[in-house]
């Protein structure tokens, strides 16, 4: 039984992180208090991002959805979520052209899932700083 717990722990640890603090550490000079402030600012934006994405999608407010995707892109890229940032950029560009509207829910769901994982990772990071 002890071995299976050890094995399970190793599997959990092997999962790649969604966030990467390298860029943030570069711009903060590794100062933990400044890093905490950046993380807290990100946390403060999350309710706007979540409700905005969900509501703009439901209300078919494509222009606003694209603008929020643009704003969120900058924030997620600060935390090393470059793939998500690129997907948000795609969404932004598609909303400008009203292109592939049927795919917008997929972009929003992907954002919601990634942001939930990122929030958990960053909460752990905050405790360790």
Q: How far apart are CA 105 and CA 98, in angstroms?
A: 14
Taking the CA of residue 58 as centre, how many other CA atoms within 13 Å lie in the half-sphere pointing to its CB? 6
Question: Is the model's pLDDT at 95 over the cut of 70?
Answer: yes
The pLDDT assigned to 11 comes to 46
Question: Rounded to 5, what percent of the chain is helix, strand, coil?
Answer: 85, 0, 15
Q: How far apart are CA 42 and CA 69, in angstroms?
A: 14
Domain covering 19-128, topology: 1.20.120
Residue range 88-114: mean pLDDT, rounded: 98
Instruction: Decide which of 87 and 7 is more confident.
Output: 87
Question: Is the model's pLDDT at 79 over the cut of 60?
Answer: yes
Question: Is the model's pLDDT at 3 over the cut of 50?
Answer: no
């Amino acid at each position: 039984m002890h071995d299976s717990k050890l094995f399970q722990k190793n599997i959990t640890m092997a999962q790649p992180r969604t966030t990467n603090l390298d860029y943030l550490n570069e711009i903060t000079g590794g100062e933990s208090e400044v890093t905490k402030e950046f993380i807290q600012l990100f946390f403060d934006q999350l309710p706007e991002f979540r409700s905005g994405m969900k509501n703009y999608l439901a209300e078919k407010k494509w222009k606003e959805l694209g603008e929020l995707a643009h704003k969120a892109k900058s924030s997620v890229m600060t935390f090393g979520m470059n793939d998500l940032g690129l997907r948000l950029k795609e969404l932004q560009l598609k909303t400008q052209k009203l292109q592939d509207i049927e795919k917008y829910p997929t972009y929003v769901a992907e954002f919601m899932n990634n942001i939930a994982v990122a929030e958990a990772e960053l909460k752990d990071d905050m405790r360790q700083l």
